[in-house]
Amino acid sequence: MTSREIRQKYLDFFKKQGHAVIPSASLLPENDPSTLFTSSGMQPLVPYLMGEKHPEGTRLADSQKSFRAEDIEEVGDNRHSTFFEMLGNWSLGDYFKKEQLPWFFEFLTKEVGLDPKRLYVSVYSGNAEIGVERDTVSVEIWKEIFKKTGIEARDIEDADKKGMGDGRIFYYGDKKNWWSRSGAPANMPVGEIGGPDSEVFYDLGAELNRHEKSKWKDEPCHVNCDCGRFIEIGNSVFIEFVRTEKGFEPLPQKNVDFGGGLERITMVSQGQDNIFETDLYSGILEKITLLSGGKKYRDNMSSFEVIADHLKAACFIMGDDKGVAPSNTDQGYLVRRLIRRAVRYGKQIGINKDHWTKEAAGIVIEKYREIYPELARNEKFIINNLDEEETKFAKTLNKGLKEFEKMDSGKVTGQDAFNLFQTYGFPLEMFFEELDRNNIKYDKDSVMGEYNRQMQKHQDMSRTAAAGKFKGGLADHSEEVTKLHTAAHLMLSALRRVLGDHVHQKGSNITAERLRFDFSHPEKMTDEQKQAVERLVNEAIAGGFPVKYEEMTLDEARVYGAEGVFESKYGEKVKVYTVGEGNNIFSKEICGGPHVDNTSSLGKFKIKKEESSGSGTRRIKAVLENQ
């Protein structure tokens, strides 16, 4: 069964169970400052899991695009990837365990056709300290489910210490069978929601047990160990608790949050023990073989997997309708890191062709253009940024590699690593890879410690500079500067209306004579687009809109829909300036500078120049003319 068939069968199956199929949320989360990327299906649904009413009802299902940056260094072990699709279904205070567990089992065995004898499950063993009992309810449900297939399902305690024995159902504690965005209960902040879960594992077969060859060879083998024989393919989380100042308390509603990895379900369906040997990756691996002059995947598994995963992930992040370009900060830094790691591993397997990453990206875009049409919509943005980043990195890579020739064993420092990052764009893990490749000895803890201190210092300085730029982007608070600053708010709103919601302010500099404004956009604006922006701004000026502000928290600003950079540098409370009133609001933006009281005093807005200001960033110079 192909991955596309599995994805569709899953959505169809839960649609039959009364679920509304909703589209995947953006990879770039809205109103969630805790993370750079959407890394699970539940993330966009937290408000609804806490009781807010969802417009589609209480039963939802989707296939959610997900990205986990923490898995970058795990790629290359046959089952980890940074980008993946999470098949999900939710009950928002509707059904619970007795419906969810049989449904997923039925999907796996009847729809996908998996052998029940190869399925094993885990449940939560409880935690008396937080007042949550062991999940005997799920155990009884699972026993009945397996009994219907002729399997006697024995429940086992302490499998991580004793081994799995003849068990089918296994109890585990906080680290394995409790789920929240923060992990185990002890890590959950006040206000975080979570609960016990029940995971389903697939037995890849005793003949594939790599336990005796692994560093875990002296530990007992069980479904939740790391030997490679068992792989988790789905997790039903019963989100029914919230952490409060008093401890763990029940939520007003009991929820089901299910997530199943499409890559892993496809893998076991297709009889593989490796997600990269499924149809989800076959096309891009074939392209890597061609680009490398015939190198074989099985002979270069780690390099092939890193290239395939990283370029696929970069395509989806940049291809999102809120896509970001490679940069040295935040989400852009991760995109840059993915592309540069792919290029570096490409070099290791002999890919010496220029502009090759866009060829590999073309395979990804073609495969997913119907399922995720945003990739097709943003194809030019993806290709252009890949090409530009590859070219930049190629120019600096050889220079950076020469630096390793100057390093002495035992004398490598974190400052060396940071200098290579600053100058040549070498991520830290690539620095270590090159040291190992050149047999240069080093103290990893010492290097990492100093590197992290330098990076923190660099980030602190960058934040200070950014805050200074935000406040000091105005030459002064004179009348003319104030007018142009207000006009910049109108222009940003107009740009987003004309070009799209991917447009965000990247910087500004305003004097009494002109405003200079940088914003995210992948390509040169057309004359028609510039004229449309001018027209919208001048209409807002002619409308005589009042300009008012109110102070609110960042969370309130997000709910209000204000445009701005939601970072701590703004402080706990922010000023949100609104241009317009009632049902006729033109702009809502977080800002700390001076503004006019009414747009009618601004004069005529005119764009004088529009040009590139870096990868994925454009710059406008504009003036206000007296009418």
Q: Do residue 389 and residue 285 come from a single domain? A: yes
Query: What is the radius of gyration, based on Cα positions, of the chain?
Result: 27
Q: What local confidence, expressed as pLDDT, does residue 209 receive? A: 56
Q: Kindly state whether residue 159 falls inside one of the protein's structural domains.
A: yes
Q: What local confidence, expressed as pLDDT, does residue 34 receive? A: 59
Q: Kindly state whether residue 340 falls inside one of the protein's structural domains.
A: yes
Q: What local confidence, expressed as pLDDT, does residue 425 receive? A: 64
Q: Do residue 248 and residue 321 come from a single domain? A: no
Q: Do residue 386 and residue 504 come from a single domain? A: no
- Stretches where the chain sits below pLDDT 70 are 30-34, 78, 207-214, 425, 427, 459-477, 565-574, 592, 614-615, 627
The runs of H, that is alpha helices, within 33-158 are 46-49, 97-106, 136-147
Q: What local confidence, expressed as pLDDT, does residue 570 receive? A: 35
Q: Kindly state whether residue 18 falls inside one of the protein's structural domains.
A: yes
Q: Do residue 205 and residue 226 come from a single domain? A: yes
Pick the last residue of a domain from 349, 365, 396. 396
Q: Do residue 102 and residue 176 come from a single domain? A: yes
Q: Do residue 390 and residue 424 come from a single domain? A: no
Q: Kindly state whether residue 519 falls inside one of the protein's structural domains.
A: yes
Q: Do residue 123 and residue 231 come from a single domain? A: yes
Question: If you count DSSP H runs as helices and E runs as strands, how many of each does the chain have, helices first?
Answer: 19, 17
Q: Do residue 255 and residue 384 come from a single domain? A: no
How distant, in Å, are the alpha carbons of 21, 53, 92, 168, 482 from that of 57? Answer: 11, 7, 8, 35, 47
State the total domains in the chain. 4
Q: Kindly state whether residue 313 falls inside one of the protein's structural domains.
A: yes
Structure tokens at 168: 């089918």
Q: Which domain holds residue 564?
A: 473-625
Q: Do residue 351 and residue 247 come from a single domain? A: no
Q: Do residue 246 and residue 364 come from a single domain? A: no
Q: Kindly state whether residue 329 falls inside one of the protein's structural domains.
A: yes
Q: Kindly state whether residue 402 falls inside one of the protein's structural domains.
A: no
Distance CA 31, CA 131 (A): 31
Q: Do residue 459 and residue 596 come from a single domain? A: no
Pick the last residue of a domain from 218, 247, 274. 274
pTM: predicted TM-score of the whole model, two decimal places:
0.70
- Report the relative pairing of strands 59-67 and 20-21 from DSSP bridges: parallel
CATH number at residue 615: 3.30.980.10
Distance CA 556, CA 558 (A): 5
With both helix axes pointing from N to C terminus, report the angle between 301-319 and 357-368 in degrees, rounded to the nearest 10: 60
Q: What local confidence, expressed as pLDDT, does residue 218 receive? A: 75
Q: Do residue 605 and residue 579 come from a single domain? A: yes
Pick the last residue of a domain from 416, 441, 471. 471
Distance CA 344, CA 430 (A): 8
CA-angle at 231, arms to 304 and 194, nearest 5°: 110
